């Protein structure tokens, strides 16, 4: 089905519930609210189901008033798997999704209608093309939602998923007058004090090995106590970005074991490395879980890094 046909289906319904994934990111929230606002603009009723309302997206949440109505059509946006609906919403919505809109290649949602475009850097790119087909206009509010969606999923146009189409869509949103200045500051230039303190502690304890070709950072449960997922996001990029480092390793203490994320440059095989510990993934990004105490986990990683690099 093409985007015109998807728009046709949406136009034939009236009361929408739009599902997001657990711990929603900017793309999920921005895309879902953009779609809801567009549906309302053409006279429909729409609500967005959000399990975890992060304060940083308040400028988006505030755009849509809560309304009581019985939804008759259920749309998921940016959700690759029903499991990701979370413990409350998975049982509630399982098997009930009418339309799934997503950009994850790995999408396994079982929905009556699916529109998955993995060439899109963000679900927001799909919604950007869908809205005019609905007969709605992308106004400033919708542009703020879509700019949030597209900028966050591309690391503000820095990640390799950024295409010329991504940049042209963003240009269109700037022309509409989206508040990119505010959004960029909130999404990319703001860190909580706790996050800054975590970074300081991580840098204090960073370990280099294999002739500085491997950098290892770790967080203990104590270090991340009271921090939200959002506040610990992206720390895995710290070791990888150091000049000369071919393998950046992040170790996180969990309840039962240590989760290890490995990011590599210059052809070093992260998947093979993690395979030694029963894990796997991609050539440049892989993971594994290791049981034991922190010291022995670090020793095992260091020993394997010395062998590999």
Please report, as ranges, the residues that interact with its own copies according to CB under 8 A.
156-160, 162-165, 167-168, 170-172, 174-175, 180-181, 184, 188-193, 196, 199-200, 203-204, 206, 208, 212, 237, 240-244
CB of 306 to its own copies, least distance (A): 18
What is the spatial distance between Cα 77 and Cα 14, in angstroms, rounded to a whole number?
18
Nearer to its own copies, 204 or 225 (CB): 204
How many C-alpha atoms does 261 have within 13 Å on its Cβ side? 17
Nearest-approach distance from CB 191 to its own copies, in angstroms: 5
CB of 166 to its own copies, least distance (A): 8
Contact of 71 with 13, CB cutoff 8 Å: no
- For residue 175, give the DSSP letter: H
Of residues 105 and 200, the one with the C-beta less far from its own copies:
200
In three-state secondary structure terms, 192 is coil
Instruction: Compare residues 70 and 181 and give the one whose CB is closer to its own copies.
Output: 181
CB of 233 to its own copies, least distance (A): 14
Q: Are 286 and 271 in contact (CB under 8 A)?
A: yes
Measured from the CB of residue 157, what is the shortest distance to its own copies in angstroms?
5
Judged by CB, which is closer to its own copies: 9, or 156?
156
- Asked if 86 and 28 touch (Cβ cutoff 8 Å), the reply is no
Antiparallel, parallel or unpaired: β 247-253 and 214-219:
parallel
- Minimum CB–partner distance for residue 212 and its own copies (Å): 7
Nearer to its own copies, 110 or 212 (CB): 212
The sheet with strand 99-102 has its strands ordered as 45-49, 15-19, 73-77, 99-102, 113-116
Distance in angstroms (rounded) separating the CA atoms of residues 301 and 307: 10
Nearer Cβ to its own copies (132/280): 132
């Amino acid at each position: 089905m093409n985007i015109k046909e998807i728009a046709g289906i949406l136009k034939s319904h009236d009361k929408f519930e739009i599902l997001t994934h657990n711990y929603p990111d900017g793309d999920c929230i921005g895309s879902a609210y953009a779609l809801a606002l567009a549906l309302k603009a053409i006279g429909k009723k729409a609500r967005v189901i959000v399990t975890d309302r992060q304060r940083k997206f308040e400028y988006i949440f505030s755009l849509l008033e809560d309304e009581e109505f019985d939804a008759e059509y259920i749309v998921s946006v940016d959700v690759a798997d029903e499991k990701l609906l979370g413990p409350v919403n998975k049982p509630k919505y399982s098997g009930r999704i009418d339309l799934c809109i997503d950009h994850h290649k790995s999408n396994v949602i079982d929905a009556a209608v699916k529109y998955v475009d993995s060439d899109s850097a963000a679900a927001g790119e799909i919604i950007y093309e869908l809205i005019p087909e609905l007969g709605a206009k992308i106004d400033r509010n919708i542009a703020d939602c879509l700019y949030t969606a597209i900028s966050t999923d591309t690391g503000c146009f820095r990640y390799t998923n950024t295409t010329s189409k991504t940049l042209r869509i963003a240009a269109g949103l700037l022309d509409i007058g989206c508040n990119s200045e505010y959004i960029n500051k909130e999404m990319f230039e703001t860190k909580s004090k706790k996050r800054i303190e975590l970074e300081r502690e991580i840098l204090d304890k960073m370990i280099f090995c294999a002739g500085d070709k491997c950098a290892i950072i770790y967080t203990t449960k104590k270090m991340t106590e009271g921090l939200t997922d959002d506040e610990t996001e992206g720390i895995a990029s710290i070791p990888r970005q150091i000049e000369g480092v071919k393998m950046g390793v992040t170790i996180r203490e969990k309840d039962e074991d240590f989760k290890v994320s490995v990011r590599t440059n210059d052809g070093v095989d992260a998947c093979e490395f993690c395979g030694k510990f029963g894990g796997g993934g991609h050539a440049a990004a892989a993971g594994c879980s290791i049981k034991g105490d922190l010291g022995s986990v670090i020793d095992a990683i260091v020993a394997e890094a010395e062998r590999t690099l």
